[in-house]
Amino acid sequence: MQIMGDDMTKMRVLVLGAGAVGGYFGGRLAQAGCDVTFMVRAGRQKMIERDGLEIESSAGNANLQIKTVLSDDAKPDYDYILMTPKAYDLEDSLNSIKPALSDSTIIIPVLNGMAHIDRLNELFGRDRVLGGVVVIQAVLLPSGVIKHFNKDAVIMIGEQDHLQPKTAKPFIDLFQNAIGVRASAVDDIKHRMWAKWVRLSALAGMTCLMRANVGEINRAPGGRDAIKRFLAANLQIASYYGYEISDDNACGIGDFLFGENSTTTASMLRDIEYGGRIESEQILGDLLRRAKIANVDHPILELAYIHVKAYEERMKCGRDQQIRT
């Protein structure tokens, strides 16, 4: 097990969560010698104390002895807090990080959608909140191992506007010696967040609605056209809010959604298949509300939203109580 020193930098980073996202990016920072602490729940803390933080990746495996803290034991002495929970856990996460916040702590959320930015700005002021996007194919296995499925993981951080203090680059510079990560400070982070949302909502909406992967949908009669209509409406919504995004931009939206042999599905579909919680409001519901404000007709999104909300209603009742006919 590797023991990471904390003399690499004076900056102190708190990572909220040690799952697939937080564990991978925070773990790579710790591996590079940065002063990183993970705020976790008691069960995850015991697992890490016993087994270390383990990453399996073609970019390089790691088994790291890391610092962890429970919310009740945290102190307000961190320069940056990287927030990596599921979007539906935002409010719980805000309560968790309160003990760790000082007046100068910079908050970096990498949640899906856009609603969390408004909430964080309201609570802490936009000068202390950066925008963030991560792109990674990884999962936290029941064993506690973080399984990374390819050689690449991307994190982009930026100030919300040019009037903010320049606080993104010092954080990104911490990744200079981190393996298996492409990190960049960007000056158009909200545009990139919208680009991800446009793509992700189309992927989640279509794969959940059809209960199929991208290739299966594209090969089905009318499937490709349905994805095109979904994407076109998404682009209209983004444009209304001031973010012009083409379907063949650097995010690779076209290739991502229209590969006939693609086995890609949204994590939301995988969560549904396993009976888990989903980011229905943050990925689909909020976009539908914005579509109505923008006067964009989006019937497939509306149907996809009804579909996932019906799933949530079914889960509330419990599968064992469902009436079978």
Task: Examine the pLDDT at 198 and tell me if it is beyond 80.
Answer: yes
Indicate the DSSP class of residue 129.
B
Pairing of strands 154-158, 131-135: antiparallel
Cα maximum dimension of the chain = 64
**Coil, strand or helix at 39:** strand
Q: Which residue has tokens 């545009």? A: 191
Which tens digit of pLDDT belongs to each residue from 114-132?
999 999 999 999 999 999 9
- Res 95 pLDDT > 50: yes
Structure-derived torsion over alpha carbons of residues 285, 290, 296, 302, reported in degrees to the nearest 10: 10
Place of tokens 């990374």: 148
**Coil vs helix vs strand at 144:** coil
Q: Can you tell me the distance from the alpha carbon of 270 to that of 278, in angstroms, rounded to the nearest whole number?
A: 9
Give every strand in the sheet of 182-185, ordered side by side.
Answer: 131-135, 154-158, 182-185
Q: What is the pLDDT of residue 66?
A: 96
Check if the beta carbon of residue 35 is closer than 8 Å to that of residue 8: yes
Task: Report CA torsion sign: 294, 295, 301, 307.
Answer: positive
Band of residue 64 on the pLDDT scale cut at 50, 70, 90: very high
On the question of pLDDT at 251 being above 50, the answer is: no
Would the pLDDT of 67 be above 60? yes
Angle at 106 between CA 100 and CA 109, to 5 degrees: 90
Does the pLDDT at position 9 exceed 60?
Answer: no
What does the alpha-carbon distance between residue 264 and residue 9 come to, in Å, rounded to a whole number?
Answer: 39
CB 288 within 8 A of CB 298: yes
pLDDT confidence bin for 319, thresholds 50/70/90: low
27 has a pLDDT exceeding 50: yes
Per-residue pLDDT reduced to its tens digit, 215-225: 999 999 999 99
Strand partners, 148: 138
pLDDT band at residue 113, thresholds of 50, 70 and 90? very high
Banded pLDDT at 254 (limits 50, 70, 90)? low
pLDDT of amino acid 57: 95
The whole-model pTM stands at 0.89
Query: Could you give the CA distance from residue 34 to residue 32 in angstroms, rounded to a whole number?
Result: 6
Q: What is the pLDDT of residues 72-84, one digit of tens each?
A: 999 999 999 999 9
Q: How confident is the model at residue 252 (pLDDT cuts 50, 70, 90)?
A: low
Q: Is the predicted pLDDT of residue 293 greater than 80, yes or no?
A: yes
pLDDT of residue 98: 95
- Which amino acid, residue 19? G
**CA–CA distance, 56 with 233 (Å, rounded to integer):** 38
**CA–CA separation, 68 and 48 (whole Å):** 8
Alpha helices (runs of H) in the chain, residue ranges in sequence order: 20-31, 42-51, 90-97, 115-124, 168-173, 189-210, 214-219, 223-240, 253-258, 267-273, 286-293, 299-317
Asked whether 38 and 17 are in contact (CB, 8 A), the reply is yes
Measured between alpha carbons, how far is 138 from 145 in angstroms, rounded to an integer? 10
Say yes or no to pLDDT of 20 above 70: yes
Domains of the chain: 2-187 (3.40.50.720), 192-319 (1.10.1040.10)
Q: How confident is the model at residue 1 (pLDDT cuts 50, 70, 90)?
A: very low
- Comparing C-alpha atoms, which of 193, 166, 171 is closest to residue 181? 171
Radius of gyration of the chain (CA): 20
Residue 323, pLDDT score? 42
